[in-house]
């Protein structure tokens, strides 16, 4: 092998090694805040972006840059919401230069965010998925306002066919014991592999401004899970 070729090979090996080291150093450790990626907050069917005013202040204090998306009021179409998320993610990526975005959804917003990931193939653009107060497998109560949330609806079938949590990103789905329709985490469960915190997070409409909910959201952004709350299908009651 000539001296020139050996030099090229050596430089290529060194460059590859350097890239691997930099990537390893840049990746956050589990449980540490991943503030490299902005946060997109997605409101629920009866909500609006203003619901996240307090949460945005808390996120800023913790070093996160956050954005909202307007799904309309009332927002009743999970698929349309997912399309708006897709557009907003592209805008945020252009504005910030970030390769990925943390998705945080309340109620129906969590369904639209998951539809974006799973059905609209948005997974490569997502750093983590966190939802709270989201009826992941449908809700007979919630479908009165949002028909897409009715159990057995085609949207719910598409969301829950196969793996609920595709890809290797970190999924968190938070339930509040103070919701009348929630008692043991069944409403907000995700099958596959997800962190499923069940907290005293207030009533549904006030969850976006509840500090207990926020602490669980922050854990999700950090890929951290309270002991005993990471669940797979076999861990859940029938």
Give the per-residue pLDDT at 61. Answer: 98
- 112-145 pLDDT, tens digit per residue, is 999 999 999 999 999 999 999 999 999 888 888 8
**Alpha-carbon distance values, 182 to 23, 40, 132 (Å):** 41, 25, 12
Q: Whose CA is closest to 235, among 184, 191, 170, 175? A: 191
Q: Which two tokens stand for residue 183?
A: 């008692």
Give 5: exposed, middle or buried? Use CB within 10 Å, 0-12, 13-18, 19+.
exposed
**Alpha-carbon distance values, 44 to 1, 56, 81, 132 (Å):** 64, 16, 10, 10
- 151-188 pLDDT, tens digit per residue, is 889 999 999 999 999 999 999 999 999 988 876 788 99
In this predicted structure, the answer to whether residue 67 has a pLDDT above a threshold of 70 is yes
d(CA 57, CA 167): 30
pTM comes to: 0.85
Give the per-residue pLDDT at 235. Answer: 52
Mean pLDDT of 207-223: 97
In this predicted structure, the answer to whether residue 15 has a pLDDT above a threshold of 70 is no
Question: In the chain, at which residue ranges do the beta strands (DSSP E only) sit?
Answer: 39-42, 66-69, 101-106, 126-132, 170-176, 194-195, 198-199, 230-231
**What b/e string do you get for 173-190 counting C-beta neighbours within 10 Å, with b at 16 or more?**
bbbbebbeebeebbbbbb
């Amino acid at each position: 092998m000539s001296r020139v070729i050996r030099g090229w090979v050596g430089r290529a090996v060194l460059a590859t090694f350097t890239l691997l080291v930099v990537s390893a150093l840049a990746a956050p450790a589990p449980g540490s805040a991943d503030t490299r990626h902005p946060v997109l907050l997605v409101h629920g069917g009866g909500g609006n972006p203003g619901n996240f005013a307090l949460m945005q202040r808390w996120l800023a204090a913790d070093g996160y840059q956050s954005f909202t998306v307007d799904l309309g009021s009332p927002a009743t179409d999970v698929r349309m919401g997912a399309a708006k998320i897709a557009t907003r993610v592209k805008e945020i990526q252009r504005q910030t230069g970030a390769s990925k975005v943390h998705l945080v959804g309340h109620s129906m917003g969590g369904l639209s965010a998951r539809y974006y990931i799973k059905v609209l193939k948005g997974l490569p653009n997502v750093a983590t998925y966190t939802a709270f107060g989201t009826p992941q497998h449908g809700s007979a109560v919630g479908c009165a306002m949002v028909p897409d949330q009715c159990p057995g609806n085609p949207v719910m079938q598409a969301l829950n066919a196969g793996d609920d949590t595709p890809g290797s990103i970190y999924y968190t789905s938070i339930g509040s014991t103070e919701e009348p329709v929630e008692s043991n985490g069944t409403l907000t469960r995700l099958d596959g592999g997800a962190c499923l915190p069940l907290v005293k997070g207030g009533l549904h409409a006030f969850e976006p401004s509840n500090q207990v909910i926020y602490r669980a959201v922050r854990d999700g952004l950090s890929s951290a899970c309270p002991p005993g709350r990471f669940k797979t299908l076999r861990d859940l009651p029938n």
